[in-house]
Structure formats: C-alpha cells, structure tokens
Amino acid sequence: MLDKIKDISDLKVETDVNLERYTTYKIAAMGKYLCTVKTEDALIELLQLLKEENVPYRILGGGSNIIFKNDIYEGVLIKLDFDELNIDNAHITVGAGYSTQRLALKLCRLGYTGIEFATGIYGTIGGAIYNNAGAYKSDMGYIVKRIRVLTPSYEIKTMENKELEFHYRTSFLKTNPSYICLSAEMELGTGNSAEIMELVEDRKKRRMLAQPLEYPSAGSVFRNPEGNFAGKLIEDAGFKGYHYGKAQVSEKHANFIITEKGVHGSDIVTLINLIKEKVKEKFDIELILEQEIIE
C-alpha cells in the first residue's frame, strides 16, 4: 500500500510521525502514515486507494480539537495543503487548509469585520467549519456563505449555508464526516481597520488573563450547557487544578485541560471521563465533549 501511495502525484507521505508536532495538546503518540495532499485529484486518488485497501483514515487539520487516545494511530492521517486565498472586496474564497487564525488576523488588518471572533481560534478553515468554531456570540455559521465538498462518492459539489446545518459547535460535516470540505466562501462587512484591531487586541489581552494560553491545550473541553457554564460546574465539582498523569485541569479556567510534555491521550480521556461522571453525579448535568477522541 505504501508503494501505491508514493506513486500518487502531488502527494507527500511520511511514516512513523510524531503527533506531538501535529496536536495542540502535544500528545505523545505516533501516526503510522501522514499524507499531505496538494491537489483535489490527489486527495480523490488517495481516498479511492484507502477504500480498496480497507484502511481507515482521518483528515487532520490543525490538531486543535482532537485527542489521539492510543499511542499509535494505525490508519492514514491526511493533511490538506489547500491554502489558496482570494479577497474580492468583502467576498472571501479560501482553501480548507488555510489557518483560521492567520486568515482572521489578515482580514481584520485589512478592515473586514465579522471574523474578529476567529482571531483566537487555532486550526484550519476546514476544521473550523466542521466544528462550527466560535467565540463572543458568533461562529463560522454567521460568515460562511457556501463551501465546496468532496462527497463519499468522490464528487465535488457546492453546499450552501442553509444545507450545512450550523448549530452550536456542530455542523453537517461533523455529523457526516465522509464529506470533506475543500474550500469556503465567506461574506464579511467592512469597517475601520484601526478600530477592528483595537477590539482584537483587547480581546487577546482578556483571553491571556482568563485562559491558560501559555500551556498546551485544545481550548474549551466541554460545551456550555444551556443557561450554565461548563467551567463553573467543573470548578464547583472540585476539579480545578486536578491532575491525572500529565494532564491537568487548568487553575486559571476549569474548562481547559493543559498538558505536560510526554502526555498520553489516555490521560486526557480519563480526566475527561472523571469530570463528566462527577458533574453528572453532583449536578445531574451531562457535559457534552467539544473535542473529539480518535481511537
């Protein structure tokens, strides 16, 4: 299979990859195969081969919302090197592999508004749409007009906003992971770049004070229950600062798990399960995981 993968044009394959480099938790795990694809044709050819060989795969964005539970991922990890960007007034077309934070900062500096919330969001555009990433009472569903996807039958089609079923931290793509985002079109507003960047910098300072951004983490662990805050529930359940292995509930914000070098994904998963059980027992609230566990 490896020889067949190497024969695909516009594709780079690496073996025995250290996933600490590819996850914001800095998880001590290994990926057997990592394929970086530069074209849509290469992606289709790779997926067809993996289907023929019955090999599992996973699209890997910025690694900012995932937990590799096991020390080895036996399937094929795929990174999309789709980073085209076209800015036509307030109409933006961008590849799924483009950095969300980089795009947001670039557009804010150019005086575009509506994407300020994403300046603190790590990962790729494809991943942000998949998870409907958001902050400050906004999310990708407010700015994405349409996307191009690769369907399970290897057809490329366009999906409009209303078809993408954007809801709090979820989307059509998340509930249908065999559809792969290739690129997106966004509609933004225009404003004063100095005022926009002043807002961005103010929010950055507040995040630095309230969130443990100096440590490896993957952002918020759980969704906020309706009318409540996951961080407060976790703190009230006695978990603030709690360690399990090399994973720890942040003392700054209890809805963040931070990690030490050499952390295993199983440490994070165990800590998550302990929190869920205790919050359910104490408050009869079922916390919903915002992050994704990969077996």
Helix or strand run (H / E) with residue 131: helix 125-131
Whose tokens are 């961008």? That residue is 94
Tell me if residue 220 is catalytic: yes
Query: Is 160 a residue of the active site?
Result: no
Task: Tell me how far CA of residue 117 lies from CA of 14, 88, 93, 104, 144, in angstroms.
Answer: 34, 21, 18, 8, 13
The rounded distance, in Å, linking the Cα atoms of 239 and 146 is 41
Give, to the nearest 10 degrees, the angle between helix 193-210 and helix 100-109: 140
Phi, psi of 180 (to 5 degrees): -120, 125
Is residue 165 annotated as part of the catalytic site, yes or no? no
Both tokens assigned to 140 = 């990708």
Buried b or exposed e, range 176-190, using 16+ CB within 10 angstroms: eeebbbbbbbbbbee
Residue of 40, 45, 116, 290 marked catalytic: 290
- In 3D, which of 181, 197, 155, 5 has the Cα closest to residue 96? 181
How far from the centroid of its chain's Cα atoms is residue 202's Cα? 24
Q: Which of 99, 148, 169, 217 is catalytic?
A: 169
Closest CA to 131 of 162, 164, 89: 164
CA dihedral 213, 77, 288, 176 (to 10 degrees): 130
Whole-angstrom distance, CA of residue 242 vs CA of residue 238: 8
DSSP string, 161-197: GGGG--BTTB-HHHH-TTSEEEEEEEE-EE--HHHHH
Residues designated catalytic: 169, 220, 290
